[in-house]
Structure 1
Amino acid sequence: MAAGAPPAAHGEEEDKGGLRTALAGLTTRGRSFLAAGVAAAICAYVLGQSDLLRVGLLLAVLPLVCAVVLYRTRYRVAGSRRLSPARVPAGSEARVHLRMENVSRLPTGLLMLQDRVPYVLGPRPRFVLDRVEAGGRREVSYRVRSDLRGRYPLGPLQLRLTDPFGMCELSRSFSTFDTLTVIPRVEALPSVRLTGEAKGYGDGRHRSLALAGEDDVIPRGYRHGDDLRRVHWRSTARYGELMVRREEQPQRARCTVLLDTRDRAFKGAGPDSAFEWAVAATASVLVHMLERGFSVRLLTDTGNSVPGEGSDGFAGASQESADAAGLMMDTLAVIDHSDGAGLSHAYDLLRGGNEGLLVAFFGDLDEEQAQVAAKMRQRSGAAVAFVLDSSAWTQSLLPPGTAEARLQLLRDAGWTALAVPPGVGLVDVWRQADHLRTSAGPAPAAGTTTGGWA
């Protein structure tokens, strides 16, 4: 991006407007000099003092000359902004690098830079750059930090010019913006062997033969390094070139992470609210499953899925895990409460096929929505539900046993379900879920630590 200081005039009207802007940019010092000069000139005329008139003219002309010289100064300044990194977890710092370059043939005067940033990222940074020689450059940087996830615009960068006497200041703005994405915090989760996970071929993968039977094998052309024992002689004779049987193909196990975003299910706001805990926990599970080789998608109560590749919405083999994780993190950075009243849209999408592992984060569930959530378990290989206890998070007075009754309804349908009170870390409830799944007894108390998963 580049800004002129001031820009070249395009016609007489723009030149007059620019000169008027320059006069309007007189500082307090410049206005004081101008007022003192006019007053001295009037007094000199009334009293007939020629020496006082010369002083008055000098005081009045000096700020006007500075404004005209500053306006007529023809040099151009190019600026750029670089974020490091452009995507940062909540509570972490990012550094913004500004680079200014004088692309004209004249040296600049004193430059003052100010970058516009949202209030949540901190105060607006200001810098003073001394004289920049022709073709010279200056680099400055500042830090930004936010405890709230979201997408925050940075810019435009404002450039303030001043004369050596400080009589006049002119402001110019660059036209480009940059965006800082603050994603939810991600916790490292312990590796576990989940119920319904494919076994015998790594984490989250299983083997599948293309077709069964000798005559049904779909061969492919021989490649250097293929085992000669896999040569399919019948196809070789038919096509006139070496053909081999297609080897077993590793297929990714699936995992759907469901996030309940209903406005009525969560109360409160801020970094410590129940909804923010659920969003951060969803991000942690998504990253954890992608690292383990699962084909993952993010699903909300509205039925929207991310990344949404293909008809099933999963991140397939053609999409790298890093790209899928980045897309889902960007979605979670700006996700907000929905106006939906129920989970029926998510249920309609889930019942359409085999979803593999299902991990859900629910807010407050009434009896009707608890029944809908219970039915989601029917076609899933395994289902784990974390229900944020509304009586604890919102200090509401629910009838005794209501929250436990909702959990029991989910458990009867095959869910591994447990309540999440405030102040408990995701790693703790992650381990508690495994303990609840593997043990015949009741789940441990919230906040306790159980052994790691196998």
Structure 2
Amino acid sequence: MEPGGRRAARGPGGMRVALAGLTTRGRSFLAAGVSAGVCAYVLGQQDLLRVGLLLAALPLLCAVAVHRTRHRVTSSRGLTPARVPTGAEARVRLRVDNVSRLPTGLLMLQDRVPYVLGPRPRFVLDRIEPGGHREVSYRVRSDLRGRYPLGPLELRVADPFGMCELTRSFAAHDMLTVVPRVEALPPVRLGRGALGFGDGRQRSMAVAGEDDVLPRGYRYGDDLRRVHWRSTARYGELMVRREEQPHRARCTVLLDTRRAAYLGAGPGSAFEWAVSGAASVLTHMLQRGYSVRLLTDAGSQVPGEAGAASGGAGAGTAEAAGLLMDTLSVIGHSDGEDLTPAQEVLRRSGDGLLVAFLGALDEEQARTVARMRHRTGGALAFLPEDEDDAEPDFPVGAGAAVAPPDAERVLREAGWTVVRAPRGASMAAVWRQADQQRAGLVDGGERR
């Protein structure tokens, strides 16, 4: 890579490569020149020899010029933005610079892009003056989340006479990340527990600045008013009082990725809705000061155990959101058959709010999910809805069924708030529905 983000072309060198790039016209001129030279030697005609030398030299000179030009052309690619939601467009800008002292010939550009992003863009550029540059751009979009490489860029250089054409590929490429669509959620309260109303941030501010009884060694810049004299006398060195770390409200989003719970693919599938819903909830809670983590049925969590123990992704909203969205952009189905691994993770560290996006459940799996409620401060489950009560409204995996009434009853008896989500439903709508349902349960409990 050259300075300023420019990427120099790469390819084998030597006159053999240059001669291999001769076009039919160039080869014809070269053959005519050699034939004229042989005839001039046999006939003793010097004028014919001069013509033959001219015919043979022209394609050779063009090949040398083109070979040199392609090594003196650099390119750069700009991707704006590098992370886009499904269905949104990203703009790719290509810049080609001529860093040689000679003008280029006709340039043909082709950027490699995955099929899901559309056809390969092709451009034809006129000659570029010495030290000049040309810029072109194109757009890409995808309805499927994932990470897609852009490049490498292919460059075909031709001389003005059409004697020689050489193609070479630029080494570097960029990565476009297509993340799940995130829907803005309203700040609602589910009963006495706040969901997305900012209580986590208020709680953090309430205890910030309180002193911990455990002292630590003095560091340069510490306020001398925080010196703990009793510990200083005890340890024989200057000690100061610690500041207690602020408490952050926590939220765990459980995403069921079992292959047996879903069937079908594409933007309209139930699994993609669950992934998009998880992304919406994670973003919503992060924006309101919660420390969040993503947990799958296989027991994997983002951030990892160390990050979750130290406050998780709440340390930086932008960085946390990027990490979670990158994970959700490539998450796929698991081969697991139950949710026991996730239950074990929550048993060790299951405090805080729990929001689950579940696929098809039988009664035994529902009991496993019900046990996850024990250590959480609140539990909310989104289940796919069977519209006709006979046939599921979305494709369901072989051997799996939409959560039966018994499974839903098990979750409700364990204290879960269960919301049925129709296919293609707005996440904001089901979020409000969860608020209304929980509020009704709390009011009914108080009346009793």
- Measured against the shorter chain, the TM-score band is 0.7 to 0.9
Q: Secondary structure at the match of 1:432?
A: helix
Larger displacement relative to structure 2 (293-302 or 76-85): 76-85
Q: Which amino acid aligns with 1:310?
A: A
Shift of 1:89: 1.0
Structure 2 residue 408 is the aligned partner of structure 1 residue 412: no
Instruction: State yes or no: 1:433 paired with 2:434.
Output: yes
Aligned to 1:105: 101
1:406-440 deviation per Cα after TM superposition (whole angstroms, max 9, x unaligned)? 21111111110121111211000001011111104
What is residue 21 of structure 1 aligned with on the other side?
Answer: 20
**Aligned residue in 2 for 1:12:** none
CA positional deviation for 1:113 = 1.1
Residue 301 to residue 327, structure 1, CA distance change in 2 (3 Å): same
1:424 aligns with 2:425: yes
Query: Could you tell me how far 1:133 is from its partner in structure 2?
Result: 2.0
**Distance in 1 between the 2:398 and 2:335 partners?**
24
- Return the alpha-carbon distance in structure 2 between the equivalents of residues 254 and 138 of structure 1: 51
Question: 1:77 matched to which residue of 2?
Answer: 73
Written as runs of structure 1 = structure 2, the 5 A alignment for 1:218-367 is 218=214, 249-308=245-304, 310=306, 312=308, 315-316=311-312, 319-367=315-363
For residues 192-211 of structure 1, the aligned pairs below 5 Å read: 192-194=188-190, 195-197=192-194, 202-203=201-202, 205=204, 207=206
- C-alpha distance after superposition, 1:141-198 (max 9, x if no partner): 2111111110000111111011223343211101111111111111111112345459
Q: Pairwise mapping of residues 15-94 of structure 1 onto structure 2 (< 5 A)?
A: 15-16=15-16, 18-23=17-22, 26=23, 64-65=59-60, 68-74=63-69, 76-94=72-90
* Counterpart Cα distance in 2 of 1:395 and 1:340: 16
**Greater mean alpha carbon deviation, residues 240-249 or residues 308-317:** 240-249
2:372 to 369, 372, 376: 376
The amino acid of 1:86's aligned partner reads: A
1:100 Cα deviation after fit: 1.5
Q: Secondary structure at the match of 1:351?
A: helix
Separation in 2, partners of 1:433, 1:67: 73
Shift in alpha-carbon separation, 1:313–1:399, aligned structure 2, 3 A: closer
The change in CA–CA distance for 1:204 and 1:160 in structure 2 (over 3 A counts) is: farther
Aligned Cα root-mean-square deviation (Å): 4.3
| Residues 146 and 399 of structure 1, relative CA distance in 2, 3 Å threshold | closer
Shift of 1:134: 2.0
Instruction: Report if the CA contact (8 A) 2:259-2:334 is conserved.
Output: yes
Determine the structure 2 residue equivalent to 1:143.
139
In structure 1, distance between residues paired with 2:283 and 2:107: 45
Query: Secondary structure, in 3 states, of the residue corresponding to 2:348?
Result: coil
Task: Give CA-to-partner distance per residue, 1:381-403, whole Å, 9 cap, x none.
Answer: 10000012361112799999963
Deviation of 1:80 (Å): 1.3
Query: Aligned residue for 1:190?
Result: 186
- Flag the 1:366–1:60 CA change in 2: closer, same or farther, 3 A: farther
Matched-pair contact (CA < 8 Å) for 1:118–1:152: yes
Residue 66 (structure 1) shift:
7.3
- Secondary structure of the residue aligned to 2:188 is coil
Q: Compute the TM-score of the two structures, normalised by the length of structure 1.
A: 0.78
Percent identity between matched residues is 57
Q: What's the secondary structure of 1:439's corresponding residue?
A: helix
State the Cα deviation string for residues 178-231 of structure 1 (Å, max 9, x = none). Answer: 11111111111111234545997745647559999xxx8346879999998x99
Cα deviation digits, residues 230-286 of structure 1 (max 9, x gap)? 997867998999998766653101110010111111111101111111111111111
The separation in 2 between residues aligned to 1:269 and 1:406, in whole angstroms, is 25
Alpha carbons of 1:226 and 1:59: their partners in 2 closer, same or farther (altered >3 Å)? closer
The CA deviation at 1:319 is 3.4
8 Å contact kept, 2:10–2:171: no
Which structure has greater helix proportion? 2
Distance 1:353 1:22, change over 3 A: closer
Q: 1:357 to 1:419 in 2, by over 3 A?
A: same
* One-letter amino acid matched to 2:20: T
CA offsets, 1:360-395, max 9 Å, x none?
A: 000111122111111111111100000123611127
Larger displacement relative to structure 2 (355-364 or 90-99): 90-99
Counterpart contact for 1:95–1:144, Cα < 8 Å? yes
Deviations 1:9-60 (Å, cap 9, x if unpaired)? 3xxxxx43x145213xx26x768x679979x99xx9xxxxx9xx99x98999
Q: In 1, distance between residues paired with 2:64 and 2:307?
A: 65
Cα separation, partners in 2 of 1:328 and 1:303, compared to 1, 3 Å: same
| In 2: Cα distance, 1:357 partner to 1:313 partner | 15
Q: Residue 393 of structure 2 corresponds to which residue in structure 1?
A: 392
User: What is the SS of the residue equivalent to 1:346?
Assistant: helix
> Distance between the aligned counterparts of 1:116 and 1:399, measured in 2?
41
Report how far residue 336 of structure 1 moved.
Answer: 0.6
Unpaired segments ≥5 residues, structure 1: 10-14, 45-49, 443-454
Which shifted more, 425-434 or 404-413?
Answer: 404-413
Using the size of structure 2 for normalisation, the TM-score is: 0.79
- Conserved in 1, the CA contact under 8 Å of 2:66 and 2:159? no
Contact kept? 2:359, 2:402, Cα under 8 Å: no
Change in Cα spacing, 1:94 to 1:422, as seen in structure 2 (3 Å) is same
Asked whether the 8 Å contact 2:101–2:130 carries over to 1, the reply is yes
Alpha-carbon deviation of 1:79? 1.1
Q: Deviations over 1:90-130 (max 9, x none)?
A: 11111112121122222211111111111111121122222
Aligned counterpart for 2:128 among listed residues 127, 132, 139: 132
Change (3 A) 1:165 1:348: same
Evaluate the alpha carbon distance shift between residue 274 and residue 60 of structure 1 in structure 2; reply closer, same or farther with a 3 A threshold: farther
